Amino acid sequence: MAAAGVELLRWRLEGDPSLREGLEGAAASQLGASLTPGELRVELWPPGLRLAEPVLALAGGVRLELPETRIEADLGRLLRGVADVRGLAVEGPFRLAYRGGRLEGRVSLVLRPGAPSAAWQVDGEVEPDSGGRLAIDGELRDGGRFAGVVDVEHVESAPFSAFLSAEEERAGEPEVRVSGRFSGRLDRSDPSGRASLRLTSDAALLSLPPVRLDGPVVLVAELPAEGVSEVAPGRLAVDATRARVDYAGSLAKASGRGASLTGGIVREPGGRLRLDDVRLQVSRFAGEIEPSAQGESP
């Protein structure tokens, strides 16, 4: 009889629209996201919920499809419309869609309420289907903004290229292309919201018209905070000493000759990152620059 009573209580809770509304309200207030919970199952002890393949819609048109997710929550408070989620654990396949790009793979993630200045403490890792690993350690603050560090281990850059692309083709605007596997760290712990990025690759291809880099590179960037940042743009610096460099199909530099690429980084409305005032600097001594097969030196 006791087991039947427990099942009846669970069935009633799962059918109560107030529980689903409270969970959706918690996602909006604590993560700044719109939640589609999918199939919902109540667990009475320890109290919580299991969501079958929930979907989160985040700022900037980001859509995150998760595997089965367990949420620790005070069920009574949720039923009264109080957003009181105490933890979230997710492990399994995921799909992230953003700005026309897509990232798929496996995720293992734990979120717990943090200090008053942070909505959630985040700890976990992501393994994209394209290979490599991202280790995440930080906070999800108000509005779902991440602050912390992401360690990058041999990750293919192609799934992230949408961050450098326009939502629509722009006539006459050169397209930035980046490919190759990168390792390094993204640090977004600065209170200002700016981020620093350092990546290395033994075999990268960077096309930043009119410059093309092919080979080992070291990339260091300071990224502007979210929102339009024309006043305080970020900076990009690429050490291409070990890479082959081609400039507009007319000048070429072989591996081993000193070369660096610098420029500004501006975040446009919608989150797109645009490179500005890109400059190539090559060490000047005899024999370092040769005519490209595609053109003649000036």
**Burial readout 245-283 (b: 16 or more C-beta within 10 A, e: otherwise):** bbbeeebbbeeebebbbebbbbbeeebbbebeebebebe
Is residue 142 very low, low, confident or very high in pLDDT (cuts 50, 70, 90)? low
Which pLDDT score is estimated for 17? Answer: 72
pTM of the predicted protein model = 0.77
Find the mean pLDDT for residues 129-157. 86
Mean pLDDT, the chain, rounded, equals 77
At residue 134, the pLDDT reads 94
pLDDT score recorded for residue 132: 93
Residue-level pLDDT at 119? 67
- pLDDT tens per residue across span 32-58: 788 888 787 877 777 778 888 888 887
pLDDT of 120 reads 78
Indicate the pLDDT class of residue 295, thresholds 50, 70 and 90: very low
Give the model's pLDDT for residue 83: 62
- Whole-number Å distance between alpha carbons of 218 and 241: 9
The tokens 């959706």 sit on which residue? 24
